[in-house]
Chain A
Amino acid sequence: MHGLRQAGLIAANQLLRFVLDWRGVLILFLLPLAFNLVLGMSLRQAFTPEFRPERPYRVAIATPAGHEAAPAVQQVLAAGEADGWIEIQRVESGEAAVGAVRQRRADAALVMPAGFPQEPLRVIAEPGTVPASVVETLAREAVAAAGSGEAGGAGGAGGAGSGRPVPVDLTMQPAPPPAGGEAPGSGALPQVDAMAYYAAGMAVMMLYLATREGTRAYLADRSTGVYLRVRAGGTGRAAYLAGTFLGSVATGLVFMVVMALVTRWLFGVHWGHLGGWIPLTLAATLAAAGVNAVLVGLARSPEVLEGVSIALAQVLGFFGGSMMPLFIFPEILARISRFVPNRWMLDGYLELMAGAGSAAVQDEVLRLTTAGAALLMVGWALDQLLARLVGEG
């Protein structure tokens, strides 16, 4: 009981020191909010399926006159223009189309060679850009349209009139709610837009730095001699360390609550079901405190802890989807990210934001709690070992 009281006092002291360092607090909240704002505004269009560029992409088109496939290709491109994706610029030749892209008078070019379809349709654009992707998609449709003009071929189901394109009824719609969420038809689901995604992404990335504040105070106490003075006053090592970890968790919880409230107020972010949010936040904070506990065991000075923890937070943030949206991850990165606690946190928050109930985040809560408890034990053991090595009683 006495030890618990001592641990509680030390935890409260860590929290108080965190709150009183107003510059540090300001930086801790200002950084994720600034990133949240920039990312949320920059990518707001990218997070909507109705995305259209504000300025249609300029596409230089070169088709040989009189080619039998040209009308089908032009029909697809005209549909893309009518849909607001592209603005067609007709040019004389393939060379002129390439020149227009090189001189940046066009964002992309589409060149139909005279030998098409034996020779392939050419899409010319800066690799990896949206105009390249859009024109490639249109070109694929154009190739398919140009190549499927004969109805009722061998093995076909028939039913289409000769020479007319087949009307494919491909309906685009948002995903149904995840398990445990609202039933379809029970009102509009909250959409996880860019602002909401990055509110969660930045919060879980900075959670490591928030929980670090508690453990940094412990290392500062060791380096200034305060630790030994307090120990001499009758506080046990276990109580001190327990208080430190408790303070770390408390600081993390304060951070997450404030972030949720501020992003709700500033950016209108809905964090979802409170019954899911509370256990998920507790588990996430425990996991982040566990990571810091291990770092404390390895880095024995506040300066080293600061540098290493920032680097680690960035690495975990990158792999966990806090910086780049998960849906643009390459396959290998998506696979790696499944082993990163950030990813579990983000998955949970995104599910809650999308309308899921508390049952939907049970797996994440369990995984984070287990990882957090295990890491705290490792950190504890490391600290004990190092204390013995330097001859502390």
Chain B
Amino acid sequence: MTLDAGNRHRGATLRRVAAIAVTTTRRTLLRPLNLLWLLIVPLFFGGVVASLFAPSDKPPRLAVVVEDQGPWVGPLLDGLSATPMNLQRLARDEAAARLHQGRERVVLLIPDGFSRSVEAGVPRLELWYAPRAEPGEEMARIRAVAAGLVTGTPAGPLSLVVEAPRPAAAAGDFALLRTVYGFYVMFSLVSLITQAAALHRERDLGTLSRSLVAGATYGEMVAGHALALFLLGLLQAAAMVGVTALGGAPWFAAGLPALVLALVAPLVAACGIALAVAGFTRTSRQINAAGSLVGTIAAMLGGAFWPLDVVPVSLQEVARLSPVYWALDGLREAFVFGGPGAAQWPAVATLVLMGVLAGTAGVLGLRRWAA
């Protein structure tokens, strides 16, 4: 084959791959159910999370059960309100029920004899707890105010500020962004794995064999579908960033390059994993189940839903196997720790490597179909 013929052949191959990718993408977007999973559900969760987890200026709530009639109850409650706290008085039974139902984390019980204990210099209080992850600020505030009753120190806001190590975005804004991003990466994984069923559908419908007869190679078909997954992922990312940015998520606070790295690297990993799942399943239903399982468990293990600080050390190590962990790591480096650029590269490289390895395994799995 001459050099010119080789170039023509490569050009034709690229055109066929692009055509397969474009038609697959268009066909996917024309089905309302696909739009539900690719855009509506992720945007709903991202939008809801963006609005619900938005930082609030409201003081924290504390449920209180009062069983003492003495003179020091009023000053204690006034002092707690001044820290500031939003107090809600409950009856004993209701407080217990709310704790068991998870509606309250803690309840302060002001027991009978509290005022006498203040007079004696040792204020006595009880804090009922529901299952919870960390010591709340309630304990510190209650101790400070109760001690102040004895010493006469007036309660008020404490001289304290909490800040991020790199102020790319306000603390509350970053917490919001991290949550939205975690949901986005999970949905990206789930929906791209699910969309990888397109190749199986082509086989079921007979369009795969028709394309092969028409001159496309099996490799071109797989490459076209992989490219279509990437295009769909880009579309999903653009929609998620656009909509949640309007909701207040500070995507651009660390600069555009940092954002591009944080979006493209997980997308490469997700496409590779989607191909791997397609290569090792036989039906659309199997892919759907695998998508839910792989995507959601990767998100849970990777720290998308809660900080990994609360999970056992062994699982913190296991988390490194999850692409969601590395995606979040890249985001945190850009916004909070090392800064955008160089500090993100270990996470980016790991994600690309994951994508390449999984994609290769997927292609090998899919080649069995060609036989």
- B172-180, B248-256, B266-274, B359-367: which lies at the A interface? B172-180
Do B131 and A45 have beta carbons less than 8 Å apart? Answer: no
A153 interface neighbour in B122, B123, B151, Cβ under 8 Å: B151
Q: Within the assembled complex, what's the spacing in Å between the Cα atoms of A175 and B137?
A: 19
Q: Within the assembled complex, what's the spacing in Å between the Cα atoms of A171 and B128?
A: 8
Nearest B residue (CB) for A130: B309
How distant is B277 from chain A, measured CB to nearest CB, in Å?
A: 14
Q: Within the assembled complex, what's the spacing in Å between the Cα atoms of A308 and B44?
A: 14
Do A150 and B151 have beta carbons less than 8 Å apart? Answer: yes
B132 interface neighbour in A49, A153, A165, A173, Cβ under 8 Å: A49
Is the C-beta of B260 less than 8 angstroms from some C-beta in chain A? no
Q: Within the assembled complex, what's the spacing in Å between the Cα atoms of A156 and B93?
A: 33
Is the C-beta of A1 less than 8 angstroms from some C-beta in chain B? no
Query: Which residues of B, 61-108, contact A by the 8 Å Cβ criterion?
Result: 61, 72, 92-93, 95-97, 99-105, 107
Do A130 and B133 have beta carbons less than 8 Å apart? Answer: yes
Do B96 and A31 have beta carbons less than 8 Å apart? Answer: no
Q: A124-B164, A127-B171 are in contact. Are A350 and B101 (CB under 8 A)?
A: yes
Nearest B residue (CB) for A312: B41
Q: Which residues of B contact A43 (CB under 8 A)?
A: 133, 306, 310-311
Is the C-beta of A174 less than 8 angstroms from some C-beta in chain B? yes
A contact face: mostly helix, strand, loop, or mixed: mixed
Q: Which residues of B contact A307 (CB under 8 A)?
A: 33, 36-37
Do A136 and B137 have beta carbons less than 8 Å apart? Answer: yes
Do B309 and A57 have beta carbons less than 8 Å apart? Answer: yes
Q: Which residues of B contact A124 (CB under 8 A)?
A: 162-165
Do A168 and B129 have beta carbons less than 8 Å apart? Answer: no
B162 interface neighbour in A123, A151, A315, Cβ under 8 Å: A123
Q: Which residues of B contact A334 (CB under 8 A)?
A: 103
Do B143 and A137 have beta carbons less than 8 Å apart? Answer: no
Do B289 and A31 have beta carbons less than 8 Å apart? Answer: yes
Do B165 and A102 have beta carbons less than 8 Å apart? Answer: yes
Q: Which residues of B contact A41 (CB under 8 A)?
A: 312, 315
Could you show 13 A-B contacts with beta carbons less than 8 Å apart? A121-B160, A141-B140, A147-B158, A150-B153, A156-B148, A157-B119, A166-B121, A166-B147, A168-B147, A170-B146, A311-B40, A326-B102, A350-B101
A156-B151, A321-B102 known; 19 new pairs, CB 8 Å cut-off, are: A35-B300, A129-B307, A137-B137, A144-B140, A144-B144, A150-B151, A156-B148, A157-B119, A157-B152, A158-B121, A158-B150, A172-B129, A178-B100, A315-B41, A315-B44, A326-B102, A327-B102, A347-B102, A356-B100
A residues within 8 Å of B by Cβ? 23-24, 27, 30-31, 34-35, 38-39, 41-49, 51, 53-55, 57, 98, 101-104, 107, 109, 116-134, 136-141, 143-144, 147-148, 150-160, 165-179, 191-194, 197, 303-304, 307-308, 310-311, 314-315, 318, 321, 323-328, 330-334, 346-347, 350-351, 354, 356, 360
